[in-house]
Amino acid sequence: MLYLGIDVGSVSTNLVLLDHRLNVVEKHYIRTRGNPIKAVQESFRLLEGRYGDEDVAACGTTGSGRQIASVLVGADVVKNEITAHAVAALELDRDVKTIIEIGGQDSKIILLRNGVVSDFAMNTVCAAGTGSFLDRQAERLGIPIEEFGDCALKADIPVRIAGRCAVFAESDMIHKQQMGYNQSDIIMGLCEALVRNYLNNVGKGKDIRPKVFFQGGVAANKSMKIAFERALGFEVTVPEHHKMMGSIGAAILARDAVRKNGHTRFKGFSLAEKRFESKGFECEGCSNHCEVAKIHENGMEIGCFGDRCGKWSNRTMVSHSMAGSL
Amino acid sequence: MKIGIPRGLLYDQFYPFFTRFFTELGAELVISPQTNKSILDMGAQYCVDEACLPVKVFHGHVCYLKDKCDLLFIPRIMQLYKDEYICPKFCGLPEMVINSIPGLPEVISHPFSATSMARLRQWAMSSASRITSNRRRVSAALDAAANEQSHFKTGYDDQGYPIKVALAGHPYNIYDTFINMNIKKKLNQLGVGVITEECVDEDDMEPEVQSLFKKPFWTFARKTYGFIAALAANQQVQGIVYISSFACGIDSVIIELVGDRTGEFPMLVLKIDEHTGEAGVDTRIEAFADMLERSVKLESNHSPHGQCVYRCKSPV
């Protein structure tokens, strides 16, 4: 009896299996690399053979690629990331008051009161200060992203970096490098700039109360945690499965959905071996000329995305809009 | 004589007036279609970079029309009410368009003030001069147009949804379903009904506006503030969804004013720009609808008189 949760994000695709007590029995973190279908298949390949299809009692998807993933796997619930993160955090600790979540493309703040989301905010149209920016800077400095945070821990005096915009931050960093500042001081300065930016932008006007959970891929960066603690003046908790919180939430929501509906729609692990093809075309139906993506499974169309009017997506939407109506 | 009318900015609010006026004068009208991708692309290509999305979209509508008409009508809307003004971009709209888009036909762009019938008559006489010199005909056209506009009703007031929110923002952001990614439909599909400011009595909004430390300078600010403050005060809706164009100066003031007045009342601010990917908007409104749904459940469980303490502001 396992619950499967899949979080298809911009940078990573995360998959968890929870047992009936909601303990994590399996977790996989795979880079999406712009191909959500492949990423989901790749993660299924890691489970195929070790688990049977009948072991999965419920399956849920979340993340910006949640719709496409739900069509592939047959999800019982398709939920936005905010609700998913909140559900996962509350399951772990009922006393969480604030969630700071920084992913690849998004940063969010979620305020929880009385066990429900009472307020949230996300970054603006611009993705400065999120994981993809840190990724890019690590790459530019030639440091593996996994070591990026540790590298900053050696900093003595963090250098001040402009944090409003990724482009400003990058040019400021380059100037500081050229002036000969120590690399760890610059990286710590960058972390502090990102935190400052986060608190002034996403966290603006928010009543950030402890206990604070720091979730998402960027929480793996120890210097970001320290920078948050310095700025807020109290401890910030990074949960053990911080990268997986979205998928854990999706798995829990899926369990609830199946309890209500009585059965799962999960299509099985054989997905890994199927041949999926995505074909894009421009719909000529009206002047909008929507770019529609059509997904084929072994030559059979299973879903369409990207149209505004629903002419294409509604052909398959029936099943997952029901799945989403939890 | 073919007159081109761009379906942009305040067209949705004032088309009965403008179309009737020019039709009565005997002109043939060419109206651009609903905003679509090619209109947005042309607008973004020609418009100055710093302008907001609706102004860019307006440029796109002009591009669509420029080779299809003899005269182009670009309303220079200055004032709709006494002692109040419209966004400054409207006052300079004709210049912005004329200087950015090459090869335009002749443009009608006389200042439009709807503060009195005399002012309107001035506008009508100058605007009609290229079409007819018959003053009596112009006068009759104006009366017919004013009459047409006075019978025009617009706005949404959905009934029968479990949750209802105030859909606020400048009219062109609310009614242009291309630039707002059909937000009303998306909300309705999530079980959320909407109400817009046209469906709220001005008398209910007035006391809220009066309570401000000074009368707002901008018509948009007065109406939107009054609308949101009145609904939130009477708890007629469970939340506010505010559609705002990225970099809008007036919105930056209204949103702060509204936030001060409504405090913890749930509010979702959606910033729109040239993005056509809908995942960002979908996530925010789904999460907002989830939050309202769950808090409604919680309220009905716990405190029948309790204050609503949920507020959510998402600068997309």
Question: Domain ranges in chain A?
Answer: 95-239, 275-326
Chain A stretch 135-194, residues whose beta carbon is closer than 8 A to a beta carbon of chain B: none
pLDDT at A266: 92
Total-model pTM: 0.79
Q: pLDDT tens digits for B67-96?
A: 999 999 999 999 999 889 988 889 999 999
Distances in whole angstroms, Cα of residue B18 to Cα of each of A189, B4, B124: 57, 11, 10
- Residue A134's SS3 state is helix
Burial track B246-265 (b if 16+ CB lie within 10 A, e otherwise): bebebbebbbebbbebbeeb
Q: Structurally, what CATH architecture does the domain formed by A95-239 represent? A: 2-Layer Sandwich (3.30)
Whether A120 sits inside 8 A of B312 (CB atoms) is: yes
For the record, the structure tokens of A305 come out as 């995305």
Q: Does A312 touch chain B (CB under 8 A)?
A: no
Identify which of A64, A82, A124 has the shortest CB distance to residue B315: A124
Give the Cα separation of A4 and A119 in Å (integer). 28
Q: Does A314 touch chain B (CB under 8 A)?
A: no
Identify which of A120, A124, A321 has the shortest CB distance to residue B271: A124
Distances in whole angstroms, Cα of residue B20 to Cα of each of A212, B29, B31, B65: 60, 10, 13, 19
- What average pLDDT does chain B have? 88
Size of the A and B interface in Cβ pairs below 8 Å: 88
Top residue of B269, B286, B297 to mutate, by most chain A CBs within 10 Å, is B286
Q: pLDDT tens digits for A37-61?
A: 999 999 999 988 889 889 999 999 9
Residues A69/A72/A75/A81 CA torsion (nearest 10 deg) = 0
Chain B: nearest CA to A23, how far in angstroms?
25
- Residue numbers in B near A308 (CB within 8 A): 178, 181-182
The edge-to-edge listing of strands for the beta sheet with A212-215 is: A116-122, A107-113, A98-102, A212-215, A236-237
- Residue numbers in A near B181 (CB within 8 A): 308
> Position B214: which residue type?
K
DSSP label at A63? S
Chain B stretch 255-274, residues whose beta carbon is closer than 8 A to a beta carbon of chain A: 259, 266, 271, 273
DSSP string, chain B: -EEEE---TTHHHHHHHHHHHHHHTTPEEEE--S--HHHHHHHHHHS-TTS-HHHHHHHHHHHHHTTT-SEEE--EEEESSTT-B--HHHHTHHHHHHHHSSS--EEE--EEE-S-HHHHHHHHHHHHTTT---HHHHHHHHHHHHHHHHT-----B--S-SEEEEEEE-HHHHH-TTTTTTHHHHHHHTTEEEE-GGGS-HHHHHHHHHTSSS--SBHHHHHHHHHHHHHHHTT-SSEEEEEEETT-HHHHHHHHHHHHHHTTS-EEEEEE-S----HHHHHHHHHHHHHHHHHHHHHHHS-SSPPP--------
- Residue B299: band (very low, low, confident or very high) from pLDDT cuts 50, 70, 90: low
Cβ neighbours around A202 below 10 Å, total: 23
Chain B: nearest CA to A123, how far in angstroms?
6
Whether A289 sits inside 8 A of B282 (CB atoms) is: no
- Residue numbers in B near A321 (CB within 8 A): 189
Whether A116 sits inside 8 A of B295 (CB atoms) is: yes
Whether A289 sits inside 8 A of B36 (CB atoms) is: yes
Q: Which domains does chain B have, with CATH numbers?
A: 2-150 (3.40.50), 163-301 (3.40.50.11900)
Q: pLDDT tens digits for A250-306?
A: 999 999 999 988 889 999 888 888 888 888 888 888 877 888 888 888 888 888 887
Whether A117 sits inside 8 A of B290 (CB atoms) is: yes
- Residue B311: band (very low, low, confident or very high) from pLDDT cuts 50, 70, 90: very low
**What radius of gyration, in Å, describes the C-alpha atoms of chain A?**
21
Identify which of A82, A114, A122 has the shortest CB distance to residue B316: A122
- Residue A126: band (very low, low, confident or very high) from pLDDT cuts 50, 70, 90: low
Give the Cα separation of A34 and A18 in Å (integer). 27
- Residue A244's SS3 state is helix
Return the residue matching tokens 């109206």: B31
Fold type of domain A275-326: Double Stranded RNA Binding Domain (3.30.160)
- Residue numbers in A near B282 (CB within 8 A): 80
Q: Does residue B17 have a pLDDT over 90?
A: yes
The gap from C-alpha A49 to its chain's centroid, in whole angstroms, comes to: 27
